[in-house]
Amino acid sequence: MTDIALPESLGYSLDQARARLRKALEDAERAQGTATLLAVSKTKPASLIRQAWQLGQREFGENYLQEALEKQTELADLDDIVWHFIGPLQSNKTRAVAENFDWVHSVERLKIAKRLSEQRPANLAPLNICLQVNISREASKSGVMPEEAIALAHDVAALPRLRLRGLMAIPAPAESFAAQRIPFAELRQLLTKLQAALPETQLDTLSMGMSDDLEAAISEGATLVRLGTAIFGARSNS
C-alpha cells in the first residue's frame, strides 16, 4: 500500500487517547495491555478510519449499519481490522450484522441473539457477544435490567454460533469521579456473578467507559473502552 500523509491532529489525538489509557491503567494498578481502545468511528469517513489503522489502531466501533457496511466495503483490504457493532439492533438488521462484524455489544433480548446465531455464517468464527445492561435503570436507555441479566446470559451462552464474552453499559452521566465509578462497579460485580454462574464460558469482557469517564471505568475493571470524540473529534450531525 502506498504511504499517504496522515493528519497531524489524528495522530496527536490517538496518541493522547493511548496515553490516557496507559495512565488510567497505571493509576488503577492494572497491567498495561489489560484494556483495549475501541475507536468509535460512527459518522466518520472510511478515509479517516484507514488513517487511524495506519497509526496502529485495529478495533473500530460502529452504530449505524448501512454506514458501517459502506465503510467495510471501502476498507476490505484491511484484513486485520476488527469491527464492533455497538448500536441498537433490530431484527431486520441481524443478518447483515451477523455476516459482517466480529463483535456485537448491544444484545439485550434473546430473540436478537437467536437470530444472530442462526445467521452467523459457518465459515466465520463465532460472533463475540456482550449483553447490554441498563445499569442506571434509565427509561430512555436500552439494555436488560441487571436482575434479568443472568437468565439471559444462560440462554445466550447456549447458542451455537455465538461466544458470550461479557457485559456492556452506558451509565447515566455523573459529575464526579466517585459518582462515575458506582455504576461501573455494579457492572463489574454483575460480571463476577455471571462468571460464577457460567464457569465454562469465557466471560472476560467489560465494555464500559467513553471519552468523559474512561478513568472511572478503568478503575473498575473495564477491558474495552469506547472512545469517539477523544480520537476523531466532534461527530458530524449529517
What domains appear along the chain, each with residue ranges and CATH number? 12-232 (3.20.20.10)
Q: What is the dihedral of CA 171, 218, 202, 92, to 10 degrees?
A: 40
12 Cβ neighbours under 8 A, 6+ residues apart: none
Taking only the tens place, the pLDDT of each residue in 116-157 is 999 999 999 999 999 999 999 998 899 999 999 999 999 999
175-189: string of b/e by CB count within 10 Å (b at 16+)?
eeeeebbebbebbbe
Contact 167, 194 (CB under 8 A): yes
Local confidence band at 236 (pLDDT 50, 70, 90 cut-offs): low
Higher pLDDT, 230 or 235: 230
Contact 191, 206 (CB under 8 A): yes
Local confidence band at 59 (pLDDT 50, 70, 90 cut-offs): very high
Say if residue 235's pLDDT is above 80: no
Higher pLDDT, 120 or 238: 120
- Output the nine-digit C-alpha cell for 219: 478503575
122 Cβ neighbours under 8 A, 6+ residues apart: 161
CA gap 151, 110 in Å, rounded: 10
Vertex 31: Cα angle to 21 and 134 (nearest 5): 60
DSSP category for residue 6: P
CA gap 154, 142 in Å, rounded: 20
CA gap 102, 84 in Å, rounded: 6
How long is the chain? 238
- Output the nine-digit C-alpha cell for 123: 465459515
Taking only the tens place, the pLDDT of each residue in 88-114 is 999 999 999 999 999 999 999 999 999
Say if residue 40's pLDDT is above 50: yes
Q: For residue 51, what is the enclosing H or E element?
A: helix 46-54
**CA-atom Rg of the chain in angstroms:** 17
Compute the half-sphere exposure of residue 119: CA atoms within 13 Å on the CB side of its CA.
17
